[in-house]
Amino acid sequence: MRKKQSTATYYKNPALQESIIRYYKEKQLNFVVKHSNYNTQIIGTESTLKFIQTEHPIRVFIAYNKIVKDLKESPKTVEILQGEWSTNNFDSRNGLKPAFYKKILNLDISSAYPYCLWINKLITQDTFNYLMNMPKTERLPAIGMIAKKSVWITYTGGKAEEWELKEGFYTNIFFYVIQQITDLMSWAAEIAGDSFLFYWVDGIFLKPTISKKKLDEITGIFAEQGYYFKYEKVENCNIVRDGDKLLINMIKNGEEKPYQMYDRNLARNFTKVLQALENA
Amino acid sequence: MAKKKTQQYQDRKYNYPKGFTKYGKSKTGFMPAAQGAKVFVTNNFDQIKKGTIPFDSLTQREKRVYRGKNNPTFENLYRYGDKSYYDPTRSLRKILDNDPNLKGKRDLTNFLKPEDFKNLFDQKLNPTKYADGTNSTLFDFKKGDKKGFYRDESGTLLDIVTKLNKIKRSGRNIRVIDTKGVTHKGVKAIDVMRKFESDKLMEAMNAAKEGDRIQLQIVYLSTDYNPFTNTVTYNLNNVQVNDLNNTP
């Protein structure tokens, strides 16, 4: 009969983790280190030490299991799993200049990921309702767990002998959701034209001078696609450029929010010019 | 007899474009004429070019702005940071104008990475950027015709041997390091330089057909002046030879 291992749980502490691994290595033990976004586990023959970053309540795992159950039954899952989806979920206006805006307009899609799963018939109404009754801080990890990824390093006699990357079976579904929202944002950006500043995940930031007609068109598309949206109050938006990096600071709903992103347009412009020169 | 009155020049009155704000306040009244003419010509540049807005209907100030914007030097002059760059191939303008987001853009500071921009200009568009009358020769003639040199926009003859003779006459010492690393001085140095150039030119002429245009540029990348010894040094081991007919 397999001996039951004892498990001890601690909050993430890289220094402690490192010293334990070093100790196991010196003692030439057999053990496995598992790293993931949420925790690091040192699995020995006698015991398992778990270092967690955040402790999630049980309902987060229940929600995740409900999503997985629905994905197994959804007729669209197989098709989406076979596709290739981009995970780039931010972009800025081509040629965005460093500037300071006293006020800017922010349109945020409400609960973008649960809605996207539901609109695309990947989860049932029951799971959707369950997700929507959870606070945002729990809803995001529950959905994010679809894309769980972990690295397993196996130590034999204190030496790292092999490693393996394990990905969740439904990771591609999460990437699909990201791309759906990004496509919606880039569609809105195209309509906004010169009034577009940047978008980040499910929120688009626009100049306050945007015409009402364009704004109506954007909100019309959000509504037509089945999403709800809200206007957020954004003040003192400062955009600074450092080469191909954009550093953006703002006060959103009274809280300071920093953003840092690569300006992907720079590489795109350069490639375009080079290609045109080669074809000339 | 009454003195003939000269006709007073009149500017148009320019309203601020809709949504034009400065320091967070909406502008009222009219724009200053100089700013208005620039905005008017910029916004209607394509229509003026096509003739939809007749050139004759423009005010003198607008005509002046339009001429400036419509001349090739202006069109092909780009800014990056606080520096200006000229694209002699004029190809970048066509490429940028094909993209609606980049159409008419001349300040590329926020459109390309600094290193990409440098690479683009120095390697692809203007490899001869550093060439001038003090460090380069540019042969420009048709095979079969008498050998000729190019004069740049300022009228400077791009012929380094002539330039070296002038430099020598002005009292400076000349030093040329040849391809074997041997240093030559004075008249001998100029002879070595002439021989080097005529060899390069011969190669280009042999490769060309009768009647072909030969545009051969030789840029001496390593040139140096030592004010203490009043000596100018050219190194024939660090030379860029450009066949401008084949430069993009």
pLDDT tens, residue by residue, A208-260: 889 999 999 999 999 999 999 999 889 999 999 998 899 999 999 889 999 99
Contact call for residues A244 and A262 (beta carbons, < 8 A): yes
Is residue A257 within 8 Å of residue A251, measured between CB atoms? yes
Compute the nearest-CA separation of A183 from chain B (Å). 19
Q: Do B120 and A273 touch (CB under 8 A)?
A: yes
Q: Does A244 touch chain B (CB under 8 A)?
A: yes
Give the model's pLDDT for residue A34. Answer: 92
State residue A1's pLDDT score.
46
Q: How far apart are CA B129 and CA B148, in angstroms?
A: 21
Q: Is A275 on the interface with B (CB under 8 A)?
A: no
Of A97, A266, A272, Cβ closest to residue B113: A266
Check residue A146 and report its DSSP letter: G
Locate all alpha helices (DSSP H) within chain B, ordered by sequence: 33-43, 45-50, 60-70, 72-75, 91-97, 114-119, 160-169, 186-207
Residue B31: what residue type? Answer: M
- Interface probe with A: pick from B116, B118, B120, most Cβ of A within 10 Å: B116
- Look at the block and give the residue holding tokens 């967070």: B24
* Record: contact B111-A269, CB cut-off 8 A: yes
Which of the residues in chain B have pLDDT under 70? 1-9, 18-27, 73, 88, 126-132, 152-155, 222, 245-248
Contact B112 A270 (CB under 8 A): yes
The alpha carbon of residue B91 is apart from the nearest alpha carbon of chain A, in Å, by 8
User: Is the ipTM of this structure higher than 0.85?
Assistant: no
Which pLDDT does position B248 carry in this prediction? 40
Q: Do B248 and A280 touch (CB under 8 A)?
A: yes
Q: What is the pLDDT along chain A (280 residues), one digit of tens a residue?
A: 455 568 888 888 889 989 999 999 998 999 999 988 788 999 988 889 989 887 888 999 999 999 999 999 999 999 999 999 998 999 999 999 999 999 999 999 999 999 999 999 999 999 999 999 999 889 999 999 998 889 999 999 889 999 999 988 999 999 999 999 999 999 999 999 989 999 999 999 999 889 999 999 999 999 999 999 999 889 999 999 998 899 999 999 889 999 999 999 999 999 999 888 877 6
Residue A245 backbone zone (phi > 0: left; psi -120 to 50: alpha; other: beta)? beta
**Which chain A residue shows the shortest CA-CA distance from B108?**
A95
Q: Please report the number of interchain residue pairs, chain A to chain B, with beta-carbon separation below 8 angstroms.
A: 52
Q: Are A33 and A24 in contact (CB under 8 A)?
A: no
Whether A266 and B112 lie within 8 Å, measured CB to CB: yes
Tell me the per-residue pLDDT of A133-145, one tens digit each, with 9 for 90 and over.
999 889 999 999 9
Q: Where are the beta strands (DSSP E) in A37-157?
A: 39-43, 47-52, 90-92, 99-109, 149-156
Listed residue (A224, A192, A219, A222) closest to A208, CA to CA: A192
Q: Inspect the interface and report whether the beta carbons of A266 and B102 lie closer than 8 Å.
A: no
Q: Does residue A261 contact residue A200 with C-beta atoms inside 8 Å?
A: yes
| Beta carbons of A270 and B116 less than 8 Å apart | yes
In angstroms, what CA-CA distances link B172 with A276, B78, B183?
47, 37, 16
Please give, rounded to a whole number of angstroms, the shortest distance from the CA of B49 to a CA of chain A: 24
Residues A274 and A267: beta-carbon distance below 8 Å = no
Residue reference for tokens 């191939």: B89
Backbone torsions φ then ψ of B30, nearest 5 degrees: -105, 155
Query: Would you say the pTM of this structure is higher than 0.95?
Result: no
Chain B residues 100-139 with CB within 8 Å of chain A: 101-102, 105, 110-114, 116, 120, 124
Predicted confidence at residue A198, as pLDDT, reads: 96
Tell me the C-alpha distance between B209 and B226, whole Å. Answer: 43
Please report the pLDDT score of residue B131 as a whole number: 63
CA atoms within 13 A on the CB side of A117: 32
CB neighbours (10 Å) of residue B137?
A: 25
Least CB–CB distance from A277: residue in B105, B113, B124: B124
Find, in chain B, the residue whose alpha carbon is nearest to that of A195. Answer: B19
Which residues in chain A touch residue B120, judged by CB atoms under 8 angstroms apart? 270, 273-274
The reply to whether residue A270 touches residue B120, judged by beta carbons under 8 angstroms, is yes
Inter-axis angle of helices A125-132 and A136-144, nearest 10: 130
Q: Does A212 touch chain B (CB under 8 A)?
A: no
Q: Are strands B25-26 and A31-36 parallel, antiparallel or unpaired?
A: unpaired
> A-contacting residues of B 1-30, CB under 8 Å?
19, 21, 24
Q: Are strands B30-31 and B14-15 parallel, antiparallel or unpaired?
A: antiparallel
For residue A240, the one-letter residue type is V
Looking at residue B20, what is its pLDDT?
64
Helix (H/G/I), strand (E/B), else coil: A157 = coil
Distance between CA atoms of residues A64 and A55, nearest Å: 15
Task: Count the helix, strand and coil residues of chain B and give each as a percent rounded to the nearest 5.
Answer: 35, 25, 40
Query: CB under 8 Å to A199, separation ≥6 — which residues?
Result: A90, A91, A92, A185, A186, A188, A189, A205
Which of A92, A104, A269 to probe by mutation at the B interface, max B CB count within 10 Å?
A269
Buried b (16+ CB within 10 A) or exposed e, B23-60: eeeeeeeebebeebbbbbbeeebeebeeeebeeeebbe
